[in-house]
Amino acid sequence: MNISLLGKKALVGGSSKGIGRSVAMQLANSGAHVTLMARNERDLKAVVAEMDTTKEQKHDYLVVDFSDFESFSKTITTFFQTTNIDILVNNTQGPEAGGALEKKVEDYQKAFDLLFKSVVLTTELAIKHMQQNKWGRIINVASISVKEPLSYLALSNSIRAAVVTWSKSLSLDVAKDGITVNNVLTGYFDTDRIASLNVKKAEKMGIPVEEVRSAMEAMVPAKRIGKPEEYGFLVAFLASNKAAYINGANIPIDGGLLKSL
């Protein structure tokens, strides 16, 4: 099956590395014009330099800090004053790890700004053109923890669950406009985020980090950690015309890790 996104413009958050980078690369491989978003300009430039331009695409980047909502709000609002997009991939860095008893109200507010407010604002700005054009794709990078919470990720569990329920509500309102809104529930992928969490787990448990990774792999029925490019394949499909009848869905990509239906 050939996935063609020729002529489509995409905006991908957290795309200087990891899952976001792989998503951006695959969208470009499928013919989309891609704008990257992340904090590190040097990394963004490096990714743009590697992206496919054989289909005459023009790729760009936007330097943003998702953890500073006031600054992010100004930057993203200015961006949409001159640019329209067809495909929005909402993705940011994750909040700090920790259990529910370790976190304070202020921590939840910061996580809310990072994971929820940034997503809602960006979508609000992007969706106007999609409605006018009667075509659009909104894809939110969420987590399997919205179905089965992870004890050491209380902030992520809570706020990503809010994003998922908001997305479902939005999907009902915009389906008539040819816009789909879907969430990808992320399992264990070979990224810097997972590596960092594993280091913290290893320190807390007093065991080698390699042991933490091995235990993680053993939990997954596929007996391995996901490759970021595999994530990119799913998002490219959801962004295409092939997935026009998939809307308001929570799609796990986890090697079978989720035990719930």
Give yes or no for a contact between 221 and 255, defined as CB atoms under 8 angstroms apart: yes
Task: Note whether residue 178 is domain-resident.
Answer: yes
Task: Note whether residue 59 is domain-resident.
Answer: yes
Q: pLDDT grade, residue 29 (50/70/90)? A: very high
Residue type, 145: S
Q: Which residue has the tokens 């329920």?
A: 165
Tokens read off for 78 = 């200015």
Task: Note whether residue 207 is domain-resident.
Answer: no
Given strand 87-90, what is the order of strands in its sheet? 60-63, 33-38, 9-12, 87-90, 136-143, 179-186, 250-253
Task: Note whether residue 39 is domain-resident.
Answer: yes
Stretch among 157-161, 206-210, 219-223, 244-248 having the lowest mean pLDDT: 206-210
Give yes or no for a contact between 235 and 23, defined as CB atoms under 8 angstroms apart: yes
The average pLDDT across 137-154 equals 94
* Per-residue pLDDT at 202: 86
Task: Note whether residue 167 is domain-resident.
Answer: yes
Q: What is the pLDDT of residues 187-230, one digit of tens each?
A: 999 988 888 888 888 888 899 999 999 999 999 999 999 999 99
Tokens read off for 140 = 């939110």
Round to whole Å and give the CA distance between 2 and 64. Answer: 33
Half-sphere exposure of 205 (CA within 13 A, CB side): 15
Residues 6+ apart with CB under 8 A from 143: 153, 156, 157, 160, 185, 186
Give yes or no for a contact between 13 and 122, defined as CB atoms under 8 angstroms apart: yes
Q: What is the pLDDT of residues 123-136, one digit of tens each?
A: 999 999 999 999 99
Round to whole Å and give the CA distance between 24 and 13. Answer: 9
What is the DSSP secondary-structure string of 109-146?
HHHIIIIIIHHHHHHHHHHHHHHHHT-EEEEEEEEGGG
* Per-residue pLDDT at 261: 82
The average pLDDT across 3-11 equals 97
Which residue would you say has higher pLDDT here, 191 or 48? 48
* Per-residue pLDDT at 243: 98
Task: Note whether residue 78 is domain-resident.
Answer: yes
Task: Note whether residue 212 is domain-resident.
Answer: no
Task: Note whether residue 2 is domain-resident.
Answer: no
Number of domains in the chain: 1
Neighbours of 10 (CB within 10 A): 28
The average pLDDT across 158-175 equals 97
* Per-residue pLDDT at 10: 98
Q: What is the pLDDT of residues 71-99, one digit of tens each?
A: 999 999 999 999 999 999 999 998 998 99
* Per-residue pLDDT at 253: 98
Q: Which residues form the domain of 16?
A: 9-188+227-253
* Per-residue pLDDT at 203: 87
Give the pTM: 0.95
Which domain CATH number covers 37? 3.40.50.720
* Per-residue pLDDT at 28: 97
